[in-house]
Amino acid sequence: MLTVSKGISPLIAAVLLVAFTMSIAGIMAAWATTYTTSRLSETGCALSMRITDLKFTNPLPTNGQIIVHVANENTNLNLTDLRYALIYLDPTKNVENAVLKTYSAGVDPLEPNERRTVIINATDPTEPVSIEVVAGNCLRVPVKVKFADFK
């Protein structure tokens, strides 16, 4: 009597198992490469920008001036598209996502080891609580300081 076995041969099963394993490994390698590349770029941003000095003056009764000293302490990374947000006690006065420009021929980017003084003409005569500055190429790593820390 002849028996008929059903299923696939062990050789084909082994080839399919190896092919499945290699395809999963390829997908994981592509994901890991993308993930580590993004994490490394964030790490380069982490300690790049620093606010070295911050002052608020009120020369006119209708507005104030904010003087910010920004430094790029990274030796390899240009910081581009600098933006700031001013946070007040009254949230209706907050200024968000405004372009940070220098008063003397401000050019983008803030190059490695460069320091720049920026004057912001505020629209409110009261002193903000804090300022947050972020570079367009380092959006996940903003620098936030309080005005009280520089008095």
Tens-digit pLDDT profile for residues 116-148: 888 888 888 888 999 999 988 888 888 999 999
Tell me if 1 is assigned to some domain: no
**Residue 145 half-sphere exposure, CB side, CA atoms within 13 Å?**
18
Of residues 75 and 23, more confidence is placed in: 23
Cis peptide before 109 (omega within 30 of 0): yes
Co-location of 25 and 66 in the same domain: no
For residue 126, the domain's CATH number is: 2.60.40
Query: What sections of the chain are H helices per DSSP?
Result: 10-46
Left (φ > 0), alpha (ψ -120 to 50) or beta: where does 70 sit?
beta
Give CA angle at 133 (130, 138), nearest 5°.
Answer: 145
Co-location of 68 and 82 in the same domain: yes
Q: Is the pLDDT of residue 103 over 50?
A: no
Co-location of 56 and 92 in the same domain: yes
Q: Is 24 exposed, middle or buried (0-12, 13-18, 19+ CB in 10 A)?
A: exposed
Co-location of 83 and 23 in the same domain: no
**Residue 16 belongs to domain spanning:** 9-46
Tens-digit pLDDT profile for residues 46-94: 788 899 999 998 866 668 889 999 999 888 888 888 889 999 999 999 9
Co-location of 82 and 145 in the same domain: yes
Least confident of 9-13, 37-41, 51-55, 77-81: 37-41
Q: Is the pLDDT of residue 44 over 60?
A: yes
Of residues 113 and 39, more confidence is placed in: 113
Tell me if 133 is assigned to some domain: yes
